[in-house]
Structure 1
Amino acid sequence: MIRLNRIKNFMVTALVFVLLCSLVTGCGSREISEKNTGSVETSQQRSGERVITDHAGRTVKIPAEVDKVYFTSPIAQIMVYTLAPEKMAGWTMQLTDKMKKYIPPQYQELPYLGGQQMSAKLNIEEILRVKPDVIFSVGPDPISDTTKSEADKLQQQLNIPVVVVDGDINSTEKAYAFLGQILGVEDRAKKLIDYCNRTMKDVVEKTKSIPKEKRVRVYYAEGPEGLATEPKGSSHAILLDIVNAENVAEVQQKGGSGMSNVSLEQVLKWNPDVILTWSTDRGGACNKILTSPDWKNIKAVKNGKVYEIPNYPFNWFDRPPSVNRFLGLKWLAAILYPDVYQVNLVKEVKEFYKLFYHVDLTDDDVKELLKDAGF
């Protein structure tokens, strides 16, 4: 009788175990990260696929091994380039000779395949020819229903998995960890996450206590005339918010590529302490602002505080608003608040370019990058 009870107990235990396994989609299944930060499951490894939940909450099937990827914007392109450049199928921007100086030769000749930023378009025919395993969609704006529908549409058009990743600067850790899992470079992702977290913490802690009356008033001058800008809260000018500067632009915020038009009269009225501008060789207004009599009475111009944003291979402040901005945070805090944020910027630039861009810079290289940037 005792033996019969033991057999019954064993059978019940075995049945419960089988039921539990079926509820979690197979005993071999393993979810690597929390669902609300994007998840990667390994339940279908034997079929050559993985099932992921992207940052838009979409369920997407991707190959078990991802060897080649593309992107819809430079934001994702730069993140992948910093993580696993050998897996890039191409560039979303056409590299200039000045950009190539800061990019290793083996990546310079990757094809230009277009993107969905500004007025650019994806080269569908070429993308299909190079056959990326996955396409990443990362935009400057918060993820929305439009983000989801556009990703679905592109996925159907190409028959290639499209994965949405959160591009907000405050979601960088989440984005890098998720991309690292998909690309199989988790250790590399951890190194970049650590740098970004340390930078953000350091800059915020040192600038957060600056009283309102001592905050530097900044105008971000975009375009060839310097008469386009971004207001407070824009993803394109968020570094000003992070370092506790006063963004003087009181204009309506535009989504996507931004660039709200303003008049010179408005800029004169705002009378900023500092002007940040695109470099002249990028089509910016730096020379015009410094030499035109129309701008000469603005405080920033009179005091020589018009700075070109370092721009190679990618802009430190914006366009594209990707992880390149973490070096930009250090530069910006140092030029705006030198009394509270001291840094050996030459050393910092060398460290960043080696870690993120895979290149070793000389002191002269760094001085060239910084020559019109306030250092």
Structure 2
Amino acid sequence: MRARLMLPGFLLIFLVSVFLSGCGTATQHAQGTAPAAATHTESTPAAPSEKRVIKHELGETEIVGKPARIVVMDFSFADALATLGVAPVGISDDSDANLIIPEVKEKVGTYTSLGSRYEPNMELISSLAPDLIIADLNKHKAVYDKLKQIAPTIVLNDHQANYEHMLANYAVIADAAGLKEEGKKRLDEHQAKMDAIKAKLPKTDAKLKILPAVVNPTGFFAHSNASYAGSLLEYLGLEDAAKSEEAYPKTNLEQLVALNPDVLFLMKTGDKTIVDEWKTNPLWQNINAVKNGKVFEVARNKWALSRGLIGSELSSEEAVTLLSGK
């Protein structure tokens, strides 16, 4: 069942319309040759009819034609552009190209690392002479005024987005990139892929209670039904054990035992996590997922960072494979 979400009005309207319409040093990451369709070379001058107004979380932004030099300030936006055959000139990748999943990396090719997603380097961004910036509401609201002085900027609620909200964000990005029809086609392809993946999920008498979570040395952060990962798994027909309006509630061992998920999908950050400590506690053995050998380690960059069509398809396929024991 889909997780319910009251989407912002402009996003819901836009998504429906799409379906109905039929301070550091710049680092160059060379990821091989990008596909021919993926380009950030200069485009030809746009005709006046190509002017459009993009509604986003912080207002409206006028864009003309197809932007040729796009800067993205989170991983999900790189995922979106990769599906559209567009290579961004700059990506906020936390100075670690390995955080971009290979399936996206091979499509975006060579780009300039913008460093931290949380501390934008304005000078570096400006030096790339972008003609479109795509930013996250949670991380970049405070610097929106500075960003839009550099280039037309759209701000999307990515960090707090669930699966349906991600799809709406994708439609906005496609329109901003001047590829609205291509975006619609890719959304249709995505729907078909997800339906096929969903059909492979093992049938059970009752819904499996699952819980995706990011774990690090100091905490266990459940990804609730309000989160991207949780709502994606619920779309497949599973049930997120953590029901919360908060997307990423920090959860202690006693609370986890009370949630008692049948399956745990753990996204580790670091070699040692709090779960290593919990494993020595008898309470850990009371969790159904532990008792039944259903504690799986999955990649955080695929399951939580690449919140896009590619990431969704890959993590869904992996979830079904793990649950079916193949």
What displacement does 1:111 show? 2.2
* 1:276 Cα offset (Å): 0.9
Matched residue, 1:162: 153
Q: How many residues are matched?
A: 283
> Which residue of 242, 254, 263 corresponds with 1:249?
242
Aligned to 2:295: 306
Note the 1:324-343 alignment, pairs <5 A.
324-336=311-323, 338=324
Q: Could you say which residue in structure 1 is the equivalent of 2:65?
A: 64
* Structure 1 residues 85 and 285: alpha-carbon distance in aligned structure 2, compared to 1, 3 A threshold: farther
AA matched with 1:260: P
TM-aligned CA deviation for residue 184 of structure 1: 4.1
Q: Where in structure 2 are the equivalents of 1:2-17 lying within 5 Å? A: none
Instruction: Report the AA paired with residue 78 of structure 1.
Output: D
Task: Kindly indicate whether the alpha-carbon contact (under 8 Å) linking 1:232 and 1:247 is maintained by their aligned counterparts in 2.
Answer: yes
Give the corresponding residue for 1:197.
191
Secondary structure at the aligned position of 1:318 is classed as: helix
Matched letter for residue 227 of structure 2: S
1-structure distance, mates of 2:207, 2:107 = 44
Which fold has the larger relative contact order, with Cα–Cα distance below 8 Å and residues 6 or more apart in sequence? 2
Deviations 1:213-260 (A, max 9, x none): x1112233322256221333233421232123232235x543xxx432
Instruction: Label 1:328 to 1:107 Cα distance change in 2 as closer, same or farther (>3 A).
Output: closer
Letter in 1 for 2:174: G
Q: Per the alignment, in what secondary structure is the counterpart of residue 61 of structure 1?
A: strand
Which of 119, 122, 130 is the aligned partner of 1:121?
119
Q: TM-score, normalised by structure 2?
A: 0.68
Given candidates 244, 263, 272, the residue that maps to 1:274 is 263
Instruction: Provide the rounded CA distance (Å) in 1 between the counterparts of 2:280 and 2:103.
Output: 33
Task: Tell me the SS of whatever aligns to 2:232.
Answer: helix
Between the aligned partners of 1:222 and 1:84, the Cα distance in structure 2 is 30
CA distance in 1, matches of 2:213, 2:58: 37
- TM-score normalised by structure 1 residue count: 0.60
SS of residue paired to 2:76: helix
Mind listing any 5+ residue stretches in structure 2 that lack a counterpart? 1-10, 19-44
Shift of 1:129: 0.9
CA contact (8 A) 2:101 2:306 kept: no
Q: How far does residue 282 in structure 1 lie from its aligned partner after superposition?
A: 7.1
Which secondary structure state, in structure 1, belongs to the residue aligned with residue 123 of structure 2?
A: helix
Which residue number in structure 2 is paired with residue 13 of structure 1? none
Is contact 1:54-1:164 (8 Å) kept?
A: no
**Which residue number corresponds to residue 240 of structure 1?**
233
Question: Which structure: larger Rg?
Answer: 1
Q: For 1:49 and 1:174, locate their aligned partners in 2 and report how far apart those are by CA, in whole Å.
A: 22
Residue from 27, 37, 44 that aligns with 2:14: 37
2:296 aligned counterpart, secondary structure:
strand
Q: Give the structure 2 partner of residue 179 of structure 1.
A: 173
Match of 1:321 among 296, 299, 307: 307
CA distance in 2, matches of 1:244, 1:221: 18
**In 1, Cα distance between equivalents of 2:298 and 2:90:** 29
1:138 offset after TM fit, Å?
4.6
- The residue type equivalent to 1:37 in the other structure is F
Unaligned runs of 5+ in 1: 1-33, 339-373
CA distance 1:98–1:224, shift in 2 (3 Å): closer
What's the C-alpha RMSD, in Å, of the aligned pairs?
Answer: 4.1
Q: Is the 8 A contact 2:80 2:170 kept in 1?
A: yes
Q: CA deviation at 1:76?
A: 1.6
Q: What percentage of residue pairs aligned between the two structures are identical? A: 19
* SS of equivalent to 2:119: coil
Query: Amino acid of the residue matched to residue 216 of structure 2?
Result: P
